[in-house]
Amino acid sequence: MSIEIHGRVAPGFEPVRDAFADNFARTDEIGAAFALYRDGESIVDIWAGHRDRKKTLPWLEDTIVPVFSTGKAITALVMAWLVDQGRFSYDDPMTEYWPDFGQNGKDAITIAQALSHQAGLSGPATPMEPSQWFDREFIESYFAAQAPLWPLSKGSGGEGSGYHPVSFGVLADAIVRRTDPKGRTIGALLKEELAGPRDIDFLVGVPEDQHERAAEHMLPPKPPFLGKINPYREAAFLKPYSSPGRRGAAAWRSAELPAANGHGTARAIAELMSVFARGGLLRDERLISEATLAEALKVRVSGEDKVLPFDLAFAAGVMLNRNSGHYGPEPQTVGHYGFGGSCGFADPVQGLSGAYVMNRQMDVLVGDERAIALINAAYGCV
């Protein structure tokens, strides 16, 4: 039985809709959406399926979905905007704004190094309650005191990257709150300064009165492959306290965990990512200067990651495509995947940005076949 696809596709981009339908036929999608922008203009905006496991609630135009680490790209955008506002510089030491962070040899780590997963804090090194991730004061103090899990070189982030699944957001938010005159969080800045005033539907911290429109996510059939287990991977993923828990789904949606629990539409993510694709422009407004954007997107570290079983290159909060094919054929494309398959990307050469979101998760960390099929179909139409 064919799936009914809603939304719009610009002439010439019909193969994207076909790839979207094929995902439902081949991979047993439940609900999903895909959006594509070029030079800031909407080219594709489609959705289909259901937002609940029982397939009783249709996926609607305003259905939001948890996108897990895809939200790191949106956090990276907020950080770039703040750099452009003069709040801090990427090369500033974290301790300039957060002195307590310098404990146990972390005094030389810069903001850029923290955003490129070089701080040695991929996860909790000692036991804690999973619910304590929701306590902002506790979790910031915890990571401020923790020693790096791998050696750090003097004046640098040390020996390469080690992906920080949830702690990335703790470190970023701690700097944001300490440099904002009102003490606002990343979620608050999105709501009050960036996404909210433009009716761009992306939230870090979903108000309870909006929980009903959020899609339920279905866990993958098996855990993702992590390669040979080491202490860094254990801390990041495998301990009972590696990620937030024990508070329930409502508390998780409402919390502000900017590395892991952003909720939004594909349309919203694609439009926010367009800033990276258009030299700092959002719609007809200059949001970030070209100079700051170049700093945001330059390679900060590359090579075999200590946590994810991939050779990766990170800028200040986003991954760089290079020749991976995860974000299409253009090496300069940047983006981020989220646990289970969601994806946001931006190509500064073609001026393309896009996003794929869904609620059936697969056992992949980077490069979900459904997202890749849609991205490749889009490039085939350019």
What are the strands, taking DSSP E only, across 184-332?
Answer: 202-203, 263-264, 281-282, 285-286, 301-304, 311-314, 319-320
- Three-class DSSP category at 252: helix
Cα dihedral across residues 187, 273, 361, 310: positive or negative = negative
What is d(CA 344, CA 365) in angstroms, rounded to the nearest whole number? Answer: 14
Q: What is the DSSP string of 297-359?
A: HS--EEEE-SSSSSEEEE-SSSEE-TTS-BTBS-TT-EEEE-TTS-EEEEETTTTEEEEEEES
pLDDT of residue 125: 97
* CA atoms in the 13 A half-sphere facing the CB of 32: 30
* Domain covering 5-381, topology: Beta-lactamase (3.40.710)
CA separation, residue 165 to residues 43, 69, 346 (Å): 32, 7, 21
pLDDT tens digits, the chain, 382 residues: what are they?
589 999 999 999 999 999 999 999 999 899 999 999 999 999 999 999 999 999 999 999 999 999 999 999 999 999 999 999 999 999 999 999 999 999 999 999 999 999 999 999 999 999 999 999 999 999 999 999 999 999 886 555 567 999 999 999 999 999 999 999 999 999 999 999 999 999 999 999 999 999 999 999 999 989 899 999 999 999 999 999 999 998 999 999 999 999 999 999 999 999 999 999 999 999 999 999 999 999 999 999 999 999 999 999 999 999 999 999 999 999 999 999 999 999 999 999 999 999 999 999 999 999 999 999 999 999 999 9
pLDDT of residue 373: 98
What is d(CA 24, CA 303) in angstroms, rounded to the nearest whole number? Answer: 35
Contact 368, 2 (CB under 8 A): no
Nearest 10 degrees: Cα torsion 64, 66, 67, 73: 80
pLDDT of residue 303: 95
What is d(CA 375, CA 343) in angstroms, rounded to the nearest whole number? Answer: 10
Ordered by start, the domain boundaries in the chain are 5-381
pLDDT of residue 2: 83
Contact 94, 137 (CB under 8 A): no
* Sheet containing 263-264: order of strands: 65-66, 263-264, 202-203
199 secondary structure, DSSP code? T
Cα dihedral across residues 216, 373, 78, 41: positive or negative = negative
- Give rounded-to-5 percent helix, strand, coil for the chain: 35, 20, 45
What is d(CA 230, CA 39) in angstroms, rounded to the nearest whole number? Answer: 43
Cα dihedral across residues 341, 344, 346, 350: positive or negative = positive
pLDDT of residue 153: 67
Task: Name the residue with tokens 């980077």.
Answer: 366
CA 190 to chain CA centroid, nearest Å: 14
pTM (2 d.p.) = 0.97
